[in-house]
Amino acid sequence: MVHRTPGVLASALAITRKDLLIEFRSRSVILSAVAFAVLAITIFFFAWDPTAVASVDLAPGVLWVIFTFSGLLGLHRSFGVEQPTRAIDALLAAPVGREAIYLGKLLANLGFVIVVQAISLPAVALLYNVPIGGYVLPLIGIVLLASVGLVAVGTLFSSMVVSTRLAELLLPLLALPFFVPVILPAAQATARLMNGRPVAEVSGYVSILGAFDVVFLVVCTLLYPYTLDQ
Amino acid sequence: MKFSKLGIIAILAVVGTYVRAIFFTPFDALQGPAQKILYVHAPSAWVGLYLAFGLVFITSILYLWLKDPKLDRVASSSAEVGFVFTSVVLVTGPLWAKPVWGAYWTWDARLTLTLFLWFIYAGYLILRGAIDDFEMRARFSAVIGILGALLVPFIHLSVYFFRTMHPMPVLLKPSAPSMPREMLITLVSSFLALTLLFAWLLRERYLLAVDRDAATEAGS
C-alpha cells in the first residue's frame, strides 16, 4: 500500500476540523463569545441617548465593536488550547507543512468568528430595528472580507502570545492596531449600506479590505514559522 | 557620566539649533510664537516615524534572514528611541494645534497614523518585556517589526477618506521649500540636530543592550 502525504489544503482542513470539533464538544468559548456579543448589544443601546442618536447611526459601530472584541475572545483559544499539554509539539512533528498548520488554525478561527457574527448581525438588525433585507448579501460579503483580514493577523499573534508571560493581555494590545485598517473601511461601508446608499458607493472600501486580506494572508503565512516556540 | 564624541556633537547641535530657533528666528506672521513648535515637531516626526521605524523594519527582515543578534539589538534600540521621538511628536502636535486649529486633537489622517504607529511601537516594546528567552524575543519582535511597517500604507489608505487639516511638509517634498530663508535654515538645522541626537541615543542604547546581554549570559 502506498502512503501519500496529504496536500496543504487537506492537512489544513484536517486541523480545522480538529479545532472546530474540540470547540463543538466543549462549547466553552463560543458560548461565552455569543453571550458577550448579546450583552454588549444591550449595553451599547443604553450607552447612548436613543432620542439624540438614531439607532441606524448606532448600529454599524455597535456591530463592528462586537465583531472585534468577540473575535479576540476566540483568537486566544486558537493556540491556547494546544498549550497546557504541549499538543502543538505533536502537530509540529506531524508530516504537515507549517503553512498548513497556520491555514488550518486560520480557517477554524474564521468558522468561530462566523458563528458569532451569524448570531450578532441578525440580533443587531432586530434589536436596533435596522431592516437589512435590501442589502444583506453585500453586507455579508463585507463582513466576510473583513473577518478574513482580522483572523489572518489574529491567528499569527495568537501563536506568538501563547509562549509569552502576558498571553491574554498581550493579544489585544498587539492585534488592535492591526485591526484598525480593517474595522475602519468595514464600519464605514456598513454605515453607508445601512443609510440606504447604493452598493457601488462602497467599492473603494471593499478594495481596501481585499488588498489587506491578500497582503496579510501571504505575509502572515510566510512569517508563521518564526512565531513557533522552537 | 562620560560623553562620547558623537554625544558632544549631538548635544551642541541641539543646543545651537534651539537657541537659534528661540532667539534668532522670526515669529510667524499669522501664528506668532506657537509656530516655533515646528522646529521640534517636524524633525521629531522625521526621526521617529521614518528613520527609526524604517530602521526597525530593515533590521527585522535582516534578523529573520541572518539571525545575527546585533541586528536585533539595533532593531530594539531603534524602536525604543523612536518611541520617545514619536511621543514627542504626539505631545508637541496637540500643543501647537490648540492655539492654531482650536482643538488639541482631530482624527485627521496624519494624526491617526502617528497614533497607531505609536501603539505598534508600544506593543513591540511590551512584547519584548514579556519574553525572557533571547532568541525567541528577537524572532517575535522581528515579526512585529515587519508587520508594523506593512500596516502603514493600509492605515494611510483607510484614514485617507477623512478630511485632512494637517499642513503638507515644507521640507521633504518634491518642489522647492516654501518658507523664508531664516526659518528654513533653522528648520534644516533642527532636522540635522535631531538626526544626530537619534544616532547618539541609538548608539548608547545599543551599547546598553550589549552589556545587558553579556550580564544575562554571565548570570545564567
How many CB atoms lie under 10 A from the CB of residue B126?
A: 15
Q: For chain B, how far is it from start to end, CA to CA, in angstroms?
A: 29
- Residue A95 to residue A86: CA distance in whole angstroms: 17
- Residue A230 to residue A221: CA distance in whole angstroms: 17
Size of interface A-B (CB pairs under 8 A): 78
Candidates B136, B147, B159; nearest CB to A178 = B147
Chain B residue nearest residue A202, CA to CA: B161
How far A12 CA lies from chain B's nearest CA (Å)?
22
Query: Which residues on chain B are in Cβ contact (under 8 Å) with A191?
Result: none
For B116-171, strand residue ranges (E) read none
Query: Which residues on chain A are in Cβ contact (under 8 Å) with B86?
Result: none
Query: Which residues on chain B are in Cβ contact (under 8 Å) with A165?
Result: 130-132
pLDDT classification of B160: cutoffs 50, 70, 90: low
pLDDT (0 to 100) of residue B161: 61
ipTM of this complex: 0.86
Per-residue pLDDT at B106 exceeds 90: no
Q: Mutation test of the interface with chain B: which of A150, A170, A178, A213, choosing the one with the most B Cβ atoms within 10 A?
A: A178
Instruction: Give tens-digit pLDDT for A148-201.
Output: 999 999 999 999 998 888 777 899 999 999 998 899 889 989 999 998 888 888
- Give domain status of residue A3, yes or no: no
pLDDT (0 to 100) of residue A80: 82
- Give domain status of residue B68, yes or no: yes
- Give domain status of residue B80, yes or no: yes
- The radius of gyration of chain A from alpha carbons, rounded to an integer in Å, stands at 19
Cell match 497607531: residue? B116
Instruction: Report the candidate in A68, A214, A228, A110 with the shortest Cα–Cα distance to residue A159.
Output: A228
pLDDT (0 to 100) of residue B56: 96
- Give domain status of residue B3, yes or no: no
CB contact under 8 A, B157 and A181: yes
Instruction: Give tens-digit pLDDT for A90-148.
Output: 888 888 888 899 999 999 999 999 999 999 999 999 988 888 888 899 999 999 999 99
Instruction: Report the candidate in B49, B74, B50, B48 with the shortest Cα–Cα distance to residue B61.
Output: B74
Instruction: Give tens-digit pLDDT for A4-21.
Output: 667 888 889 988 998 889
- Give domain status of residue B171, yes or no: no
Candidates A160, A180, A220; nearest CB to B155 = A180
Candidates A174, A180, A204; nearest CB to B116 = A180
Instruction: Report the candidate in A8, A137, A23 with the shortest Cα–Cα distance to residue A75.
Output: A23
Candidates A170, A212, A223; nearest CB to B154 = A212
pLDDT (0 to 100) of residue A218: 95
pLDDT classification of B169: cutoffs 50, 70, 90: low
Cα B160 to its chain centre, rounded Å, is 22
How far A68 CA lies from chain B's nearest CA (Å)?
17
Beta-bridge partner residues of B32: B28
- Identify whether the C-beta of residue A216 lies closer than 8 Å to the C-beta of residue B150: yes
- Give domain status of residue A87, yes or no: yes
- Residue A82 to residue A111: CA distance in whole angstroms: 18
- The total number of structural domains in chain B stands at 1
- Residue B72 to residue B135: CA distance in whole angstroms: 9
How far A166 CA lies from chain B's nearest CA (Å)?
6
CB contact under 8 A, A174 and B127: yes
CB contact under 8 A, A223 and B146: yes
How far A223 CA lies from chain B's nearest CA (Å)?
7
Residues 6+ apart with CB under 8 A from A88: A79, A82, A228, A229
How far B120 CA lies from chain A's nearest CA (Å)?
7
- Give domain status of residue B29, yes or no: no
- Residue B111 to residue B121: CA distance in whole angstroms: 15
- Identify whether the C-beta of residue B142 lies closer than 8 Å to the C-beta of residue B75: yes
Query: Which residues on chain A are in Cβ contact (under 8 Å) with B142?
Result: 226
The residue segments making up the domain with residue B88 are 38-164+177-214
The SS3 of residue B28 is: strand
Query: Which residues on chain B are in Cβ contact (under 8 Å) with A72?
Result: none
Q: Which three cell numbers stand for residue B165?
A: 487639516
Instruction: Give tens-digit pLDDT for A69-96.
Output: 988 888 888 888 888 788 888 888 888 8
Query: Which residues on chain A are in Cβ contact (under 8 Å) with B83?
Result: none
CB contact under 8 A, A177 and B139: no
Instruction: Report the candidate in A214, A219, A64, A88 with the shortest Cα–Cα distance to residue A163.
Output: A88
CB contact under 8 A, B155 and A185: no
The residue segments making up the domain with residue A150 are 8-227
CB contact under 8 A, A160 and B159: no
pLDDT (0 to 100) of residue A152: 95
- The total number of structural domains in chain A stands at 1
CB contact under 8 A, B119 and A176: yes
Print burial letters for A196-219: b (CB count within 10 Å at least 16), e (below 16).
Answer: eeebeebeebbebbeebbebbbeb
DSSP class of residue B50? Answer: I
Higher pLDDT, B218 or A210: A210
- Give domain status of residue A193, yes or no: yes
- Give domain status of residue B208, yes or no: yes
